[in-house]
Amino acid sequence: MPIIMCSKPSPIIFAILLLALLCNGASTVAGCNEGERNALVDFKRGLLDHTGRLSSWTGSDCCNWQGVACSNRTGHVVRLDLRNPHPLSRTDDQPYNKWSMGGELRPSLLGLKNLRYLDLSMNNFGGRPIPEFIGSIRNLRYLNLSRSGLGGQVPRQIGNLSRLQYLDLHNDLYYRPSGRVPGLSIDDPLWISGLSSLRLLDMGNVTFRDTSSLVEYLNMLPHIVEVRFCYCMIQSIPLSLPHVNFTRLSTLDLSGNRIDTPTIPSWLFNVSSLVHLDLSDNSFRGSIPAEIGKLSSLEVLRLSNNSLQGVIPKEVGNICKLHTLGLEDMNISMSLPELGDVFSGCIKTSLENLDLSSTGLTSYLPDWLGELTSLKTLYLDNNSLVGSLPESFGGLTSLQVLSLSYNKLNGTVPAEILGGLVELFYLDLSTNLLEGIISEAHLANLTKLWLLDLSSNRLALEFSPNWVPPLRLQWLNVSSCRLGKKFPSWIRNQANISWLFMANAGIEDAMPNWFWVSVIQVTWLDISKNAIDGSLPTNFSPNVRFLDLADNLFSGTIDPAIGESMPNLKLLSLSGNKLYGDVPSSLCQLQNLAVIDLARNLFSGELPNCWKHDLAVLDLSSNNLSGGIPDTIGSLSSLEALHLSNNSLSGKIPSSLQGCTGLSILDLSQNKFTGKVPTWIGESCPSLKILRLRSNMFAGRIPQNLSRLLGLQIVDLAHNNLSGTIPKSFGRFAAMKVKREDKEYVLQGYTSVYVEMMEVFMKGKALMYGDYNGILSQVTSLDLSGNNLYGTIPRELGSLRGLMSLNLSGNHLNGEIPKEVGSMQSLESLDLSRNDLSGAIPSTMTYLTFLSYLDLSSNNLSGRIPSGNQLETFNESTYSGNPGLCGFPVKQICENDDNGVGTRNNNTSEEDGAGSQVWLSYLATALGGFVVGFWVIWGTLILKSNWKDAYLRYIDRQYDRFYVIVAITFNRLKNSYV
């Protein structure tokens, strides 16, 4: 699906305004006014100009200064353009930061009384407010303060600029310095109505506190042409207007707000001048009205990501100028073939961009799609489409983007179709059921292709060893395709590739020496889950940011200088290989490194004691590491997950770990740690969700304050030497009190590049849970088994209604099983075995309808085993080692039971006997009266037809009742003798 951001102001509008503003010329022979020169010099004094952009501001003629323009007729300064010449890039913010100006905006600008054009955009003024005095520069026609790091309230004095034609305050979050600038906001937008000359208004990402009359204020601007209010927190707009005044409005962008209305407002369809309408990413409900057809000038219509549903009106197909239609996430109640009627109108030849992704479309790809001959982009991903690519797709010779991912398409990919789409630069067929071979014929003509995603299909890529593809790929994802055992040599000439994914591709080869030389631009490399062997390379590309070589057969040591060879590295995953030696200390030098995963290798020695940067994940589990936890790990305040399990680490948990205040996961299980479980865990780790300390040598009491951790969902302290009683406070674990329905990732950062895997002992075995789509966040478990705990089971634990697994086995607990256990409605696994529990099994346990694993063996329980619901499904081993128990399923017969072995209980027997008597009585009565009643009743019915109909209906009901009684009685009699 496409990524749609706030659209940019029309360059046509900008050019017209600029031409009008500068029609008097851009320079003067006579030189600038002395007073205006002094005003500019004073304004410069307030600015921070690190790169000398204003170094030309010397001498007497200010009209020749950089960014300054004067009227050719009067000599007055009419234009001041200090826009950053290096806008922020999504890949490199260094030039932007270097060339940004900051500082103070001094009121000396008021000395430029003829100033018509002011542009301070793309700078960084550090959250300073927009000065009120700008509202006094009355001759301004053009004001651009967008993306300039200004914050606070937009001053209402700007509403005094009645001659202003262009106002851009777009405050794109992407351009805002992280964590420092509060952003712009408007409490009351009434002042907007005073901008009577305004033609373009861009308030993108400016927060509006009150929008109740916003549209009415816009309706008072008779000359307005473009309105862009994307991501402004607007919650509502009126469904109707008494009169529409902005008859010149051509662009309206309200995307990314919170507008929630039962339908698309009707007044929009009266703005016949609209060319560009963007209502995407809101909460508009209902269907698309047929009145949309009245907007005959419309060229762009985006309604994606709302709550719209129903059919697409045929009138859409008659908007003859429409070239872009975005309906992503609309619940369309039509199949794709049925949509052919809509797209059979004049839109058939005008449409260039079509987005129908995530719209619930079913069935096959119809031929009519191939008749949209002007189509350039087509998004049909995330639907339920089946079948293969139709031959008609070969006629889409202008197609540049084709996204069919996350469907159920099957069959082969015809080379004659794909090979004819010569304009393609983006092709995504991932996550389907496609099969067969992709050959040279498929790709030979796609010379413009820069993104190719064939992952998660059943495709095999077969090219001749010497083939040189004409592609200029930047993104290639062939994960879970079959590439052959040899490392694919055809990648060798793809020098521009930045993202390369070849995971689970069946490669059984060593990495060739040419690889890092040929793909020097690669920033993201994933070749995990193959059988690639040999040593790790030492000539990694310095551009690599994400490196995933996990689950292969790499052996040997890691180059000690790995941290120097990849200075920009953010993720390093080498888990599941055969690497050995020390963990390189050079990893500590990587300032951008966020994820280190070296688990499941053969590393030995002690952990480096040099950690100092903002790691998010450190996973060194399942190695041969020894020694203690280095104190410097405690300096990682941004650390979210620390995995050190299954090593030979020893000593106490250092108090320095209190500095890891952002921890969500602490896993130190299966080591040799000693001492007490630190009480500071419940105080210094407020974000902790998973605590695993099992299989160590911890002693002492369990800290009661662990229950203060509101998010703690998995607690595993099993197999230690812990003593004392189970804290009653454990009944207050907030994350275990309610069953989790929402799916939030356990880790908040890097969830798209790192999947958390967690071992949870449940149902008598170790289960692995991956945090795919937030699944791990729904798992709750409390395991205190294999310790020296004594006392009773706190009945307060019954408050944990969201707990899935409770294991208290292998302790010295005594007393009865509290009846409150029956309130733990989400329990799937309960293990209380190998304790000293006594008394009866509470009947409330029959309420545990999700329970699939139960072990109460090896205790001193007695009395009858309750029956009903899930308890009916467990066998005798569940209760073994409790000689005092009786009833099904154990062999011990309860007192007063006169039936065979395994009788459930007396009440059941009495009910069975009573049921049998009811059945026999009913049968005898029915048969006894049959002879007499037959002739009396049927004789009457022969004479009275209306009686006959009523009586037959009665007999039908009695038959149903008779059948139910017989069935129930039969089952009870059967159970009595089984």
User: pLDDT digit string (tens) for 238-293?
Assistant: 999 999 988 899 999 999 999 999 999 999 999 999 999 999 999 999 999 999 99
pLDDT digits 0-9 by tens, 76-87? 999 999 999 987
Query: Residue range 786-799: average pLDDT?
Result: 97
Q: State yes or no: pLDDT of 921 exceeds 60.
A: no
From residue 505, give the alpha-carbon distance in Å to each of 457, 523, 532.
11, 20, 10
Map tokens 């055969």 to a residue.
578
Tell me the pLDDT of the chain averaged across its residues: 87
Q: Is residue 500 part of a domain?
A: yes
Structure tokens at 5: 């951001």
* Boundary-marking domain end, from 557, 588, 605: 605
Q: Distance between CA atoms of 884 and 583, rounded to whole angstroms?
A: 57
pLDDT digits 0-9 by tens, 196-235? 999 999 999 999 999 999 999 999 999 999 999 999 999 9
Residue 30's pLDDT band (cuts 50, 70, 90) = low
Q: State yes or no: pLDDT of 635 exceeds 80.
A: yes
Map tokens 């008494």 to a residue.
242
Which residues, in sequence order, are bridge partners of residue 568?
Answer: none
Q: What's the one-letter identity of residue 647? A: N
Q: Distance between CA atoms of 438 and 442, rounded to whole angstroms?
A: 6
pLDDT score of 13 = 52
Which residues are within 8 A (CB) of 131 and not within 5 positions of it... i.e. 6 or more apart?
105, 107, 155
Domain extent, residue 566, equals 483-605
Structure tokens at 621: 């589990």
Q: State yes or no: pLDDT of 772 exceeds 60.
A: yes
* Boundary-marking domain end, from 605, 626, 653: 605
Are 578 and 599 in contact by the 8 Å Cβ rule? The answer is no
Residue 6's pLDDT band (cuts 50, 70, 90) = low
Q: Which of 444-448, 673-677, 909-913 has the least mean pLDDT?
A: 909-913
Q: State yes or no: pLDDT of 747 exceeds 70.
A: yes
Residue 151 DSSP code? B
Q: Is residue 259 part of a domain?
A: no
pLDDT score of 541 = 87
Q: What's the one-letter identity of residue 725? A: T
Q: What proportion of the chain, given as a percentage, has pLDDT over 70?
A: 86
Q: Is residue 412 part of a domain?
A: no
φ, ψ of residue 297 to 5 degrees: the values are: -90, 0
Query: Residue range 602-608: average pLDDT?
Result: 96
pLDDT score of 770 = 81
Residue 869's pLDDT band (cuts 50, 70, 90) = confident
More confident residue, 932 or 294: 294
Which residues are within 8 A (CB) of 706 and not within 5 positions of it... i.e. 6 or more apart?
681, 682, 691, 712, 715, 727, 729, 730
From residue 318, give the alpha-carbon distance in Å to each of 290, 300, 339, 341, 670.
11, 14, 13, 11, 69
DSSP element (H, E) containing 6:
none
Chain centroid to Cα 386, Å, comes to: 26
Are 480 and 507 in contact by the 8 Å Cβ rule? The answer is no
φ, ψ of residue 495 to 5 degrees: the values are: -70, -20
Residue 973's pLDDT band (cuts 50, 70, 90) = very low
From residue 780, give the alpha-carbon distance in Å to each of 580, 595, 665, 848.
35, 25, 14, 16
Q: State yes or no: pLDDT of 922 exceeds 70.
A: no
More confident residue, 932 or 788: 788
pLDDT digits 0-9 by tens, 529-561? 999 999 998 888 889 999 999 999 999 999 998
pLDDT score of 87 = 77
pLDDT score of 769 = 84
Query: For the stretch 966-975, what's the b/e string if a residue is b when 16 or more beta carbons lie within 10 angstroms of its beta carbon?
Result: eeebeebeeb
Q: CA-based angle 744:750:751, to the nearest 5?
A: 35
Which residues, in sequence order, are bridge partners of residue 885?
Answer: 863
Other CB atoms closer than 10 Å to residue 847's CB: what's the count? 18
Query: Residue range 309-316: average pLDDT?
Result: 96
Q: Is residue 571 part of a domain?
A: yes
Q: Distance between CA atoms of 327 and 305, rounded to whole angstroms?
A: 7
Q: Distance between CA atoms of 705 and 727, rounded to whole angstroms?
A: 9
* Boundary-marking domain end, from 605, 635, 669: 605
CATH of the domain at 506: 3.80.10.10
pLDDT score of 951 = 37
Q: What proportion of the chain, given as a percentage, has pLDDT over 90?
A: 75
pLDDT score of 198 = 97
Q: What's the one-letter identity of residue 321? A: K
Are 881 and 809 in contact by the 8 Å Cβ rule? The answer is no
- Closest C-alpha among 459, 354, 456, 431 to residue 399: 354
- Closest C-alpha among 745, 651, 686, 648 to residue 666: 686
Are 332 and 360 in contact by the 8 Å Cβ rule? The answer is yes
Residue 27's pLDDT band (cuts 50, 70, 90) = very low
pLDDT digits 0-9 by tens, 452-495? 999 999 999 999 988 999 999 999 999 999 999 999 999 998 98
Give 207: exposed, middle or buried? Use CB within 10 Å, 0-12, 13-18, 19+. middle
Are 410 and 388 in contact by the 8 Å Cβ rule? The answer is yes
Are 703 and 680 in contact by the 8 Å Cβ rule? The answer is no
Q: Distance between CA atoms of 325 and 308, rounded to whole angstroms?
A: 14
Are 607 and 582 in contact by the 8 Å Cβ rule? The answer is no
Q: Distance between CA atoms of 578 and 598, rounded to whole angstroms?
A: 10
pLDDT digits 0-9 by tens, 38-86? 999 999 999 999 999 999 999 999 999 999 999 999 999 999 999 999 8
Q: Is residue 380 part of a domain?
A: no
Q: State yes or no: pLDDT of 319 exceeds 80.
A: yes
Are 811 and 744 in contact by the 8 Å Cβ rule? The answer is no
Residue 133 DSSP code? G
pLDDT score of 246 = 86
Q: Distance between CA atoms of 531 and 879, rounded to whole angstroms?
A: 47
Q: Is residue 920 part of a domain?
A: yes
Q: Distance between CA atoms of 975 and 355, rounded to whole angstroms?
A: 61
Sign of the torsion formed by the C-alpha atoms of 723, 728, 731 and 733: negative
* Secondary structure class of 715 (helix, strand, coil): strand
pLDDT score of 806 = 97
- Closest C-alpha among 612, 564, 601 to residue 584: 564
Which residues, in sequence order, are bridge partners of residue 626?
Answer: 648
Q: What's the one-letter identity of residue 808? A: L
Q: Is residue 574 part of a domain?
A: yes
Angle between helices 930-943 and 945-976 (to 10 degrees): 150
Which residues, in sequence order, are bridge partners of residue 475?
Answer: 451, 499
Q: State yes or no: pLDDT of 598 exceeds 60.
A: yes
Angle between helices 906-928 and 930-943 (to 10 degrees): 60
Are 912 and 891 in contact by the 8 Å Cβ rule? The answer is no
Strands (E) in 571-706, as ranges, are: 571-573, 578-581, 595-597, 602-605, 617-619, 624-627, 641-643, 648-651, 665-667, 672-673, 690-692, 699-701
Q: Is residue 845 part of a domain?
A: no
Are 644 and 625 in contact by the 8 Å Cβ rule? The answer is yes
**Percent helix, strand and coil across the chain, each rounded to 5?**
25, 20, 55
Residue 5's pLDDT band (cuts 50, 70, 90) = low
Domain count, the chain: 2
pLDDT score of 283 = 96
pLDDT digits 0-9 by tens, 871-895? 888 999 999 999 999 999 999 999 8
Are 281 and 256 in contact by the 8 Å Cβ rule? The answer is yes
- Closest C-alpha among 433, 434, 432 to residue 413: 434
* Secondary structure class of 3 (helix, strand, coil): coil
pLDDT digits 0-9 by tens, 346-374? 999 999 999 999 999 999 999 999 999 99
